[in-house]
Each structure stands twice: as C-alpha cells, then as structure tokens.
Structure 1
C-alpha cells in the first residue's frame, strides 16, 4: 500500500464522517420540529375542548366563563388567543367573540370551510405575521335555534419557533464538538494504524537507495511475513550474485592461464594468431565485466563519486605524465552514484582514458546530480558525426592508439544501458568530443 493510497482511504473516512453528521443533524432537527408541531396541536386541542365545555349563548351573545380558560387568553401579547366566528348572511365569517389577548393583534380569522364536527391544525398568515391555528366547526344548539359556529385557537409562530431555535442551537453546538472529536479520533486512528505501513515504506526506500541491506524494523503480525519474505528475497539475491561472481572469477582464471601460455608460444608472433589471441582476451574481459555488472539489481547501494574520481585522475596523471595533462573535475562533495562501484569505475575509467589519449592537454569531468549526469570533454580532434554511431560497435576503432581493442566504449554503452541510462556524443566547447551520460533517478 502506498502512502497516497493510505491518504485517500483516510480522506474517504473523514468525508463519509462529515457527510453522516450533517445528515444526522438534519434528521434530528426535523424530528424535533415535527414533535414540536404535534405537541402544539395537542395543547391547542386542550384549550379548544375547555372552550367547548363552557360555551354559552345568553341573550343571543356568546359568553365564556373566565374560570375555565387559561390566563394566557386574558394577558396581552401572550401569543395565545381565541376567536369564535359565525357564518353571516353573505356567507362570510363574522367574529362573535374573541379573547382579551387578541385585542393587541392584527389578526383576522379565516373563513371556515369545515364540516361541522371537523377540526384542522394548520399554518396561517395574517397582516404579514405567521400563526398556527386549530379550527373546529360546530352547530351550536341554543334551545331555540341552531347556530353554525367556528372556534379558532391561535398561537403565534414565535411561540413555536423560540424553543425550536433554542434546541437547534444547542444541537448544532453539540454536533460541532462531536464532529471535532470524531475527526480528531479518526486522524489519530489513521496515524496509529498506518504508522507500521509508513515505517515499512521508509525502510523499502532506504533499501532502494542502498542505505541498508535488509529490513530490521518491528512490525505487527500482518506485516511480519512480508518483512521476512523480503529479507529472504534479498538474501537469496545477494547469495546468487556472489556465487555467480565467484564462478566467473574462477572461469576467468581458468581461461587466462591457457591464453597466457599461448601468448608465450613462438606461434603467437604470427600477426593473425596474435590478433585472435588479443581478441579472445578482450572478449573474456568484456563478458566478465558485463556479467558482473549490478545495473539490473533491484536494490542498489549508494556511494560518493568524488573519491573514486580522484583515484582515477591520479592514476591517469601518472600514466600520461608525458602530456602534462590538465584534468579539471567539477563534482560536488555530496554527489552519489546508486549502483556498483566497479561499474562506475569501468564507465569513468574507459571514458577518461579515451579522453586522455585523444586530448592535447585538457580534459574536463562534470558531475551533475538529480538526475545524475556525467560529462567528459577533451580538447582533442573530436569525432565526426557520421562516425559516432559506429563508435559503440564492438571492435570498431576510430583512433590509431597502440593500446586497446575497440571494446571499451561498447562496454560503457552496455553498462549505462543496464542502469536504464542514456549516452550521447556531441562537440565540446573545448574543441574535442563531449560524452554525456544520463542516469534516471
């Protein structure tokens, strides 16, 4: 599992959590509001039945006893009021009684379209104010006649909204604290559960960078098997590589001895035989170096470049002391190569040696990090453009040097290719050839 995948999983968990909390908040909020409406309707029903029980018509007027009604009906601005309406001649309702608390309201009861005995609880707007009404239609028998009446119990919207808003603010505060706590717990749980994976990822990166050669961290049971399998794979790879190199070394010694004997034979002085013996020696050396290259290794060690460059330059100064070489090195102290030291020495050794052979006096090596670039230049005659491709063909010689067998640059090309790198030849500002090697990070 990569870090990006773990991060995505953590973000998905937090997003789901943040979606669940608002959904829960809305559900609880709506449930409370619905319950508040039900409670308000039930309270208004109690007041309505109290009015019905005490409703009287005396001398054609509606009268109600003050003892049976709630004190809120007689207190101004209480938010609770009551109206009794009767259907007039023009089929419009007329107020025949209203509570004292309604005198300060600009409220007009709606026309009643209910069947006698039917009641309804609903929201109603009047004079730009919102109200909640419980209305009932009835036929009141006064003894002499039956009168159609309607009773309206009215409650202002503020009486309903005030407790709702108070509850909503309290609920919102709690949900914010709960969300913060859950997010914090999720982050801590994510960090705790992914800590071993992060540690394993860091160790694998160190293996790839050559900073260590095996996994040595302590991991949960689920990751212990992966750790042991990786260590086993690394150990097997190292054993096979070492065994392969040992066999190659033995093969080299076994082949070099008979070749050396043949070279001491008088027959080796014949030009054709001497050339073939030289080719055999060069091919043996080339194949051994190619087979022992670590460019294809998955896990590569990392080492500083500058000390190895200094060794090579000191050796070349002694070999070509007659030329009074000026070898300029531009390499940072912390420049590193991720791979085998022998491979780097083989690459730089061949290229610097060729540059020293071709130059008049000046050779320059430039090392650039991230990605690693090795640039070797000289002030020699250079290389013609149409001949540069042939330069990497084994056995091809573009110079007249007495030493070498034309396989050095083909070795360099194959080593660079084994590290998934690239090489190009251009003209140098110094006047000669410029070899640039590019290694991916």
Structure 2
C-alpha cells in the first residue's frame, strides 16, 4: 500500500466528515425551525381561543370583558398582537399593535376556518393566524375574524440560540471525530508502514527476510514474500554454483590444451583464446548477482572515482581528460560488482578508443537512471553496430577498443531490465547510453 493510497483514504474520510457534519447540522436546524413553526401556530391558536373566551360583543362595539390575555398583548413592541375585523373593517386591536404598522389581511374565510401563513408588509415578515367565526349575540349573529400576529423576530430568536448551541456541539463532535479518525488511521496503517519499511530494508540489503509481527490479514503477505525471497535466493545460488562448476570443469582441459604442441597452431590458438574468454565471461556471470529481484542502492560516484583512478594510471601515457558529471545522490539499484563490471568495460573501451577526451554523465529523470559514456575517438561504423553486442562475436574485432566485454555489459543491462544504445557523440566518437528503471 503506497503512501499516496493511505493519504487518499485519509482525505476521503475527512471529506466525508466535512460533508456529513454540515449536512446533519442543516437537517437538524431545519427540523428545529419546522418544529418552531408548528409550536408558534399552536401558541397563536391558544391566544386566539383566549381572545374568543374574553370577547364581548354589543350592538355598537366589541370589547374584551377583562384583562386575562397574555401580557405581551398589552406591551408595545412586544412582537405579539391581535386584531378583530368585521367585514374587512377593523373593530378591535390589542395595545401592542399600536406602533406595529401592521394591517390585518382581508381574507374571505368561511366560518370555522383558520389559516396560518407568513405575511410580508413594509419589508417585515409577520406570522399570522386567522380564525373566522360567527359570534352569536342575544338577537343576532355577527361574523368576525380574529387575527393573532407574531413578528418573525420572535420566531428567529430561539432558532438563533438553538443554532449557536448546536454549532458548539457540532464543533466539539467534529474535533472529536477528526481526532478519532487520525488515531484510527495511524493505528490501522501502522502495520502497513512497518511492512513497507521492512520491504525497503530488504531491497537495500539491510535484512534478508520480513521479520515483524503483523495482523492476520498481512501475515499471509509476509509469509508469501518470505517464500518468494527464499525461492529466489535458492535459485540464484543454484545458478551461480552450476555456472561456476561448468566453467571450472572446462578450465582444466583448456589449460591442458594450451600446454600442448597443437596450441601453437594459429587456428587452434585462436579458438582456445576464444574458449578461454568465454569461460572467464561465465565465471564473472557466476559471481554476479544481477538477477536479484531485491536490489541494493549503490552510490555511483564512489565507484566511478575508483575506476577513473585506476584507468588514469593504466592510460597515463595518453594523458586522457576524463570529465565526470555525477550527482552525489545518484544510486544504482543493484549489485556493486555488476555496476563495476558495466562501467569498467565501457570506460576501458572509451579510454582505448579516445584521442584525449572521455565524458561520463549521470542523471535521474522520472525515477529512471541514465548513464552516458562517450569519447572523442573514431567511433563505431553504422554497419558494425548491430553486431557489436551479439554473443559469439570475436572480442578483439574492433581494434579501436569498442567490443571488448560489451556482450557482458549487454547481458548485465538486460538482466536489470535496462536498455543500452549506441550512437554518435558530440565529441566525435561513440556514445553509449544506459537507462535503468
């Protein structure tokens, strides 16, 4: 499991938290507002029945028999008021309505009907409960409409208080959930991080197997990886032993042939030299670990300095200028013996072929390692390049130097799933470019 995948899972969890909490907050707030409306309607209905119970109607006026109504009906600007209309004429209003600037709605309601709705007047919102009734007097019946009015501020005030309390609770819950998610994320991904750390230690050669204790889900992966490592190591050892045994077995009879009189014949000597070179090649391959699945990270710069120091002494007479461009953090994911074999062959060929200048450049791009070795020698003709890396080609064919050990280099590069190309160098000679994942 890569770190990016872990991070995506954490971000998804945080996104769900940030989505669900506001959605829950909005839903609860709307539910509370709906409940407030229902409660307000019920309260206004109770006030209307209280007004009806105290209502006194005579032929010339309408009045309330006593002051049994809620105190808010007698206090100005209380936000609660009442009106009584007869055939769209205002016949009574509470003291609290005098400065309110509200006009009762002129609805034609049927007797017994009541209506609760919002009314917008003078850019102010009012909630009005209207009840239509037929008031029976001693000798006549009079139609009346009772309107109980509440300002929107009386409805919003408790909602604001509830919203502030709810916000504090949700903030606390959100912080708690976020902390819990971080702890759960750390706790659940800790085994994966330990497994990833151990795999990296196996890759760089710090340890040979996975040794940590893991949950049941990861224990199977650990065991499978250890089986793969054991199988790979056994296969590599068998390969190296068999190849070494074969090369050593051939070395003795070839040595005997070299001491015989027949070895002085040019044709036989040429073939014996070729067989000897092939045996040395296979012995080097047997000692190589280029087929390892788990590769170490080898610093390239120290290996280059060792090779350049040795080649400068060998080719002292040519006074070669070897230019190196290699970052200190450049690494080769493989075995140091293989790296020395690759660089040694290519640098030795370049020193043999050059006039005075050899250039080595190393850089990493998009997690891919690129090595370039070039010289100012005569180069390699186009018609010969396709045969240069073929197995079985005489190693001394190209007197300029290119060709010696290149089959070894080609096989080593291939074993690391890399690529090796040859083209013309701006210096005038050949340029070998190697690329590794």
Band the TM-score falls in, shorter-chain normalisation: 0.7 to 0.9
Q: Tell me if structure 2 keeps the 8 A contact 1:296–1:418.
A: yes
2:435 equivalent in structure 1: 439
Distance 2:309 2:80 in 1: 106
2:322 equivalent in structure 1: 328
Q: CA offsets per residue over residues 192-221 of structure 1, 9 Å max, x none?
A: 221221232233234334444333444344
Does structure 1 residue 250 correspond to structure 2 residue 249? no
Does structure 1 residue 164 correspond to structure 2 residue 159? yes
Distance 1:256 1:291 in 2: 14
What is the SS of the residue equivalent to 2:130?
strand
Q: CA offsets per residue over residues 56-92 of structure 1, 9 Å max, x none?
A: 22343112123322222222112111111111xxxxx
Distance 2:66 2:323 in 1: 111
2:398 equivalent in structure 1: 399
- Which 5+ residue runs of structure 1 have no aligned equivalent? 88-92
CA separation of 1:289 and 1:268: change in aligned 2, threshold 3 A = same
1:167 to partner: Cα distance = 1.3
Match of 1:103 among 98, 104, 111: 98
CA separation of 1:348 and 1:23: change in aligned 2, threshold 3 A = closer
Q: Tell me if structure 1 keeps the 8 A contact 2:358–2:376.
A: no
1:90 equivalent in structure 2: none
Distance 1:147 1:412 in 2: 114
2:298 equivalent in structure 1: 303
2:62 equivalent in structure 1: 62
Distance 2:40 2:290 in 1: 83
Does structure 1 residue 284 correspond to structure 2 residue 279? yes
Does structure 1 residue 412 correspond to structure 2 residue 409? yes
Report the more deviating stretch, 367-376 or 28-37. Answer: 367-376
1:115 to partner: Cα distance = 1.8
Does structure 1 residue 197 correspond to structure 2 residue 196? no
What is the SS of the residue equivalent to 1:67?
coil
Q: CA offsets per residue over residues 25-65 of structure 1, 9 Å max, x none?
A: 11211111111112212222222112222222234311212
What is the SS of the residue equivalent to 1:234?
helix
1:97 to partner: Cα distance = 1.4
Q: Tell me if structure 2 keeps the 8 A contact 1:279–1:405.
A: no
Report the more deviating stretch, 230-239 or 159-168. Answer: 230-239
Distance 2:306 2:119 in 1: 98
TM score, norm. by length of structure 2: 0.88
Q: Tell me if structure 1 keeps the 8 A contact 2:380–2:430.
A: no
Q: Tell me if structure 2 keeps the 8 A contact 1:424–1:436.
A: yes
What is the SS of the residue equivalent to 2:398?
coil
Aligned residues: 431
Q: Tell me if structure 1 keeps the 8 A contact 2:410–2:420.
A: yes
Does structure 1 residue 261 correspond to structure 2 residue 260? no
Distance 2:231 2:4 in 1: 31
- Any residues of structure 2 matched to 1:5-404 within 5 Å, and which? 5-87=5-87, 93-290=88-285, 293-309=288-304, 311-313=306-308, 316=311, 323-326=317-320, 328=322, 330=324, 335-360=330-355, 362=356, 364=358, 366-370=360-364, 371-394=368-391, 395-396=393-394, 397-400=396-399
Distance 1:353 1:378 in 2: 11
CA separation of 1:367 and 1:235: change in aligned 2, threshold 3 A = farther
Alignment RMSD (CA, Å): 2.8
Distance 2:350 2:154 in 1: 97
